[in-house]
Structure 1
Amino acid sequence: MKKVLITLDYNPNSEKVVNMGYELAKLMNAEVCLFHVLAEVRYYGMQYEPFMGYEGYAFPVDFKIQEEFVKVAQDYLDKTKVHLKGENISTHLAEGDTAQKILDYAEEWNADLIVMGAHHHGALEKLFLGTVASSILEQTKIPVYMVPTGK
């Protein structure tokens, strides 16, 4: 195994995921990519004609907000890379459906291992939304190293 994809979100427990994933990668002398997915925020600023009595947003929309989200996310990845103080570390930022983007990039980058956190969600949230981790596990052909991040 020579390529380890470490997925990050904004959960403070991501530090545990990054540290454990990086330690594993060092043991394997593997290249690391720190990976984050931005949800598609462009839809939040959409302006529509009134329909079904709905007048749309009553506040001005800053169309540069997407650029700001990208800058913040890239800064997060860059600071995480500095935190690790290592070599053979790259970063990649994607936008869209989190599980699908992880699966797509892991395949594109030829990852040998995906490292991700296993956040604890309530039963109702799992029922209606599922989890990124379960989606990845159901669809991937690449081994996954799950780091438990709950209490």
Structure 2
Amino acid sequence: MKKVLIALDYNPNSEIVAEQGYRLAKKLGAQVCLLHVLSDIAYYGINYPTFMGYEGYNEMQVDLNVISELRNVAKDYVETAARHLDDPRVTTHMAEGPTSAAILDYAKEWDADLIVMGTHSHSVIEKVLMGTTASRVLEKTEVPVYLIPIKE
């Protein structure tokens, strides 16, 4: 295993995932990349025509600077997480889109040998209705996934 991709969400428990994933990667002598996904951000900037009598964003004039600022916040988050690991060789990547698809796409693009991610405690009904990012990644991955259980 030469490349370990550590997927971090925006949650304080991500510190556990980053640190445990990093320790595993170092034991394997692997490169590390921290990945953070900003989900569905473009959705908020779409200027739809009126539909079903709803004029929504046309009248609200969504400030597209908000989208740019969210991107900057997400990029700063993942870069700060890398600095926390105190290893200048750790790289970062910030992606956008549906989380599980973005993780899988970047794992393929970066040629990751292992994906590390946390799994949060979700209620049974939440798992049935929405699934979880971890389960969607596991369903479609082409590389091994190391899950770190996070209990909230």
Query: SS at the partner of 2:20?
Result: helix
**Root-mean-square deviation over aligned CA pairs:** 1.3
Corresponding position of 1:103: 104
Corresponding position of 1:75: 76
Structure 2 Cα separation of the partners of residues 82 and 27 of structure 1: 19
Gaps in structure 2 of 5+ consecutive residues: none
Aligned residue runs from structure 1 range 22-33, under 5 A = 22-33=22-33
Contact 2:38-2:94 within 8 A present in 1 as well: yes
Gaps in structure 1 of 5+ consecutive residues: none
Query: SS at the partner of 1:65?
Result: helix
Residues 70-118 of structure 1: CA distance to partner in whole angstroms, max 9, x if unpaired? 1001100111111000142100111111111111111111111100001
Corresponding position of 1:63: 64
Q: Could you say which structure has the higher helix fraction?
A: 2
The size of the alignment, in residue pairs, is 151
Shift of 1:53: 2.1
Structure 2 Cα separation of the partners of residues 59 and 20 of structure 1: 44
Corresponding position of 2:130: 129
Do the aligned partners of residues 146 and 61 (structure 1) sit closer, same or farther apart at CA in structure 2, a change above 3 Å counting? same
TM-score, normalised to structure 1's length? 0.93
Structure 1 Cα separation of the partners of residues 88 and 61 of structure 2: 44
Corresponding position of 2:4: 4
Structure 2 Cα separation of the partners of residues 137 and 105 of structure 1: 15
Percent of residue pairs bearing the same amino acid type: 54
Contact 2:45-2:67 within 8 A present in 1 as well: no
Corresponding position of 1:18: 18
TM-score, normalised to structure 2's length? 0.93
Q: Which moved more, 1:24-33 or 1:46-55?
A: 46-55
Do the aligned partners of residues 4 and 50 (structure 1) sit closer, same or farther apart at CA in structure 2, a change above 3 Å counting? same
Kindly report structure 1 stretches of 4+ aligned residues shifted beyond 6 Å. Answer: none
Structure 2 Cα separation of the partners of residues 11 and 141 of structure 1: 26
